[in-house]
Structure 1
């Protein structure tokens, strides 16, 4: 069994509450026992801190589906989260590999995501993992009235702020990639000024074979891609190391959307 300090970091606290607990836990774990320890011992480095949640900044809507084709950057994005093991697998992949990811979770799958909030907290704070808005319940936004579009985005934003302590603005991904000028205008007026699509995919929104998923990875893991994956089906669970190897072999640099386009969670804008 682990120590009390290690156990305390795994209790699934809401993200914003966890920040304070993390700081106290690090201090308690780092302190030498009374009367012991040498003057040369140092405490653990402070955990990265999150910026304050910024106010929404309305603007003009821009559809984003690719990054700069030159260089080596590639953005790996992960949608939904219907499969608890898949969510856990992606979280473990990010933690052990150091690969940068942009997650697009739906709050309706909170049961699958929230147990990993404490593990993701330092990765989010360090900028290795970004979270963008994918709506709360994954509807086709074009079928909703204006108020329904706003509610889906706002409810998911509230959930992300509570669990991960960060804003999703200015990025949102319309479910199924279905959007129009009206939907984008509503989103942009609330600060989601970048509608994110993709130009590469593992094609794993449904159950596929490992061989097919890897064929898609080999096709689309190239510079300038925004690659779409899903945390919905277990096929990907046995392929993380192969995907990482392919990325290394091709000299690619996985980045978040913030890193690809020069945006910031501190401001929620470009």
Structure 2
């Protein structure tokens, strides 16, 4: 009897030991799961790539504009050094395959980021500014000129000039000329009519070369990064003028890929005046490309 009791006690001890070991394993599993969760999953906001500036209320993009196409890493300045602004272009566009990128309706919430990207890529562009936006972005307008971009007049408030009396057309042009010159010391030499709407009366009232475009990317309508890249890379032809709008986030997000794609196609980037070899353009005449 004493022998059988000893065996029973031993068996009970083994059962209890196994149960304790299993409980210990079960207690450890949630801890390992929590630790694994810290090592995987989406990056924290602090690890996100490039912060976008807050949009102006008047130009807040649609929700789908936040889904940007991943871009290749761009060469950026070290913390203590900014990349130099590209020198003025000395390009013979009768020989080289030139294209002029133009940006309308700014300055706006994303113009500073666009200038950063153009500077990093050592590219000059042409900005057609709204006079009413100049006062709130004086530093950006000054920076455009300092970094070698061309600044043009796009009217004061973007009306269809063909619907206005002649005196008001002139006022739209004159007020914008003055606003830009007050900030930069440079008066724009080129005018882009809002909507491309111009007739003989308006042309005479503006009395500046009228710059239209050969490629309308329709970035203002679709506001889609991939579509902007496709239109911006595939549609330009030699001597072309490409229309973008720097007040839209998807446009600025697309620019690095557009620049890369056009360079792969052999294009050289110039301002509108450089596209025409710096020769004087005729006031009232319309230009949509070289």
Same fold per TM (> 0.5)? yes
Q: Does 2:241 align with 1:241?
A: no
3-state SS of the aligned residue for 1:120? helix
| In 2, Cα distance between equivalents of 1:73 and 1:87 | 23
Deviation at 1:95, TM superposition (A): 2.0
Runs of 4+ in 1 over 4 A off after TM superposition: 267-270
Deviation at 1:240, TM superposition (A): 2.2
3-state SS of the aligned residue for 1:251? coil
Deviation at 1:72, TM superposition (A): 0.5
Deviation at 1:242, TM superposition (A): 0.7
In structure 1, list runs of 5 or more residues that go unmatched. 1-47, 49-67
* Equivalent of 1:113 in 111, 121, 137: 137
Provide closer, same or farther for how the CA distance between residues 167 and 83 of structure 1 changes in structure 2, counting only shifts above 3 A. closer
3-state SS of the aligned residue for 2:213? coil
* Equivalent of 2:180 in 124, 137, 160: 160
Which structure has the larger Rg over C-alpha atoms?
Answer: 2
Summarize the alignment of residues 52-67 of structure 1 with structure 2, pairs less than 5 Å apart: none
* Equivalent of 1:81 in 97, 106, 125: 106
- 8 Å Cα contact 1:81-1:112 kept in structure 2: no
| In 2, Cα distance between equivalents of 1:118 and 1:185 | 29
Deviation at 1:254, TM superposition (A): 0.9
Superimposed CA distance per residue, residues 2-40 of structure 1 (whole angstroms, 9 cap, x where no aligned partner): xxxxxxxxxxxxxxxxxxxxxxxxxxxxxxxxxxxxxxx
* Equivalent of 1:211 in 181, 202, 226: 226
- 8 Å Cα contact 2:129-2:154 kept in structure 1: yes
Provide closer, same or farther for how the CA distance between residues 133 and 216 of structure 1 changes in structure 2, counting only shifts above 3 A. same
Summarize the alignment of residues 68-147 of structure 1 with structure 2, pairs less than 5 Å apart: 71-81=96-106, 83-84=108-109, 86-110=110-134, 113-123=137-147, 128-147=148-167
Q: Does 2:268 align with 1:253?
A: yes
Deviation at 1:244, TM superposition (A): 1.6
Number of matched pairs: 193
Superimposed CA distance per residue, residues 82-111 of structure 1 (whole angstroms, 9 cap, x where no aligned partner): 641x21122212222221101101021225
3-state SS of the aligned residue for 1:228? strand
TM-score, length basis structure 2: 0.61
| In 2, Cα distance between equivalents of 1:172 and 1:137 | 14
In the alignment, what sits opposite 1:151? Answer: 171
Superimposed CA distance per residue, residues 50-100 of structure 1 (whole angstroms, 9 cap, x where no aligned partner): xxxxxxxxxxxxxxxxxx78740111110002641x211222122222211
